[in-house]
Structure 1
Amino acid sequence: MNDLPKLDDLDRRILSTLLDDARVPYAEMAKQFQVSPATVHVRVEKMKAAGIIEGTEILVNTKKLGYDVCCFIGINLKAARDYHSALDKLNQLDEVVEAYYTTGAYNIFVKLMCRSIEELQFVLIDKLQAIDEVQSTETLISLQNPINRNVIP
């Protein structure tokens, strides 16, 4: 049984517009799509209620804040039962900005942001690898992020 919310063309166009710029006024979208502002408002509220739209966010330029090192770390845990406690400890590290529970070579895959290679080394040795549940790690340093986009509605 498929419980996914049904989106029509207008919903997709509204969502696409909001993904490009979440600050576009409903009245402007209404004019563009030849519907009333109330219709746009109702559609957005229905997508919020269905959990399709979970909020709005500010995009921060990490480089402008001095975070020059982005890396991905594959983490192997000592035991599968260590997942929840390891995740709790990873969540306490400010440098960890994303975490995924994965299949394959690693139990957990995290994205880390650091100001320098020296800071990355400190985080790896003194924070991440110091977590009791962590058996081993593999670090991949990102050289650039040429594609960064949302799914197309």
Structure 2
Amino acid sequence: MNEIVKLDDLDRQILHTLMSDAKVPYAEMGKRFSVSPATVHVRVEKMKAAGIITGTEVLVNTKALGYDVCCFIGINLYAARDYHSAIEKLQQLDEVVEAYYTTGAYNIFVKLMCRSIEELQYVLIDKLQAIDEVQSTETLISLQNPIKRNVAP
């Protein structure tokens, strides 16, 4: 089981700052928090070593790239043993951007991005539902994403 790492106030301030803007220089954070840039560097490295910070990423505006349809699809498999092979096949679909193994009504829950409803229809019929392990699907189309954030440090 993963060990929960204890963060102090300085760690949380640094993490919160990096989560808001990963490009903030250590010197600027040092001034902001009244510590040296070296202290900020050491704290960041400790959080990386502890697995709290696992990397940085570029956030992409999907609408600017033409992806106007975001949807969530609940997938029921024929059998639980089909999970691994179904995930391998889902990984091959560029439109699938997230996947979760879930309890409840679905075995797998995926987030899918498409450029249009027509493309979504094609992906559903010719790609996703064509996966042998998929018994049934239910599609929920997102109208907007009013809340999008990370967990609080």
TM-score exceeds 0.5? yes
Superposition TM-score, scaled by structure 2 size: 0.98
How far apart, CA to CA, are the structure 2 residues paired with 1:138 and 1:2?
Answer: 34
Cα offset, 1:48, TM superposition: 0.4
Shift of 1:6: 1.1
Which residue does the alignment assign to 2:10? 10
TM-score w.r.t. the length of structure 1 is 0.98
Q: Which secondary structure state, in structure 2, belongs to the residue aligned with residue 138 of structure 1?
A: strand
Counterpart code for 2:99: A
Gaps of 5+ in 2: none
* Partner-residue secondary structure (3-state), 2:124: helix
- Alpha-carbon separation, structure 2, partners of 1:4 and 1:42: 19
Q: Percent of counterpart pairs with the same letter?
A: 86
State yes or no: 1:61 paired with 2:61. yes
Equivalences, count: 153
What amino acid maps onto 1:104 in structure 2? G
Match of 1:84 in 2: 84
Question: Alpha carbon RMSD of aligned pairs, Å?
Answer: 1.0
Q: d(CA) in 1 for partners of 2:71 and 2:44?
A: 35
**Equivalent AA in structure 1 for residue 117 of structure 2:** I
The one-letter code sitting in structure 2 at the alignment partner of 1:4 is: I
Distance 1:4 1:11 in 2: 14
Cα distance in 1 for residues equivalent to 2:46 and 2:133: 42
CA distance in 2, matches of 1:16, 1:142: 28
Aligned to 1:103: 103
1:33 partnered with 2:5: no
Counterpart Cα distance in 1 of 2:47 and 2:2: 17
Runs of 4+, deviation exceeding 6 Å: none
Q: CA deviation at 1:121?
A: 0.1
Q: Deviations over 1:62-103 (max 9, x none)?
A: 000000000000000000000000000000000000000000
Unpaired runs of at least 5, structure 1: none
Residue 97 of structure 1 aligns to a residue whose secondary structure is strand
